[in-house]
Amino acid sequence: MKKYLVACMMLLVLLGCQPTPDVMDSDNQPISFKTYRGQWVVIQYWADWCSTCVKEIEELNQLAQTSVKVFGINVDNKTAAELNELKQSLGIRYALLQSDVGEKLQLEAVSGIPVIYALDPKGKPHGPLKGKQTKESIEAWMAEQHA
């Protein structure tokens, strides 16, 4: 009985160490933004009917190959299956989130797309950065926020 209680206590301690997920991605993987402290996180609000948004995907794919963690949020509330279809058809190589985390992360309200927000390495929100961006323009903007 004592071994059982000790095992239960250890399990509770281990479970308590796991960050509570903020959102699920399109692959039903839990995402907790606290786990990305120490690095930049970029969040793009977009839609597949927005040609500027679609053109920005390759730039974000390139950015995602650096130390920056990139996420996309589709403003049309697509299902996980629909998001995964878009990932495949549009060649998206970063995670798409199933729901909006803007309020939870204290981001300003979205008033147009495409728009980018970022969390700096300390978790502080920045943005919005509106309009079509390049990998270089996003990196320069993040450097300005960090200065």
β-pair type (95-97, 69-74):
parallel
Report percent pLDDT > 90 for the chain: 67
Per-residue pLDDT band at 120 (split at 50, 70, 90)? very high
Per-residue pLDDT tens for 59-116? 999 999 999 999 999 999 999 999 999 999 999 999 999 988 888 888 888 989 999 9
Instruction: Report the mean per-residue pLDDT for the chain.
Output: 88
Query: Is residue 138 classed exposed, middle or buried when 0-12, 13-18 and 19+ CB atoms within 10 A define those classes?
Result: buried
Which parts of the chain are beta strand (E)?
23-24, 30-31, 41-46, 69-74, 95-97, 115-119, 125-130
Asked if residue 99 lies in contact with residue 87, where contact means CB atoms within 8 angstroms, the answer is no
According to the model, what pLDDT value does residue 24 have? Answer: 86
Q: What domains are there in the chain, each with its CATH number? A: 21-146 (3.40.30.10)
- State pTM to two decimals: 0.84
CB–CB of 74/99 below 8 Å?
no
Cβ atoms of 138 and 116 within 8 Å: the answer is: yes
Q: How confident is the model at residue 12 (pLDDT cuts 50, 70, 90)?
A: very low
- Report which residue type is found at 20: T
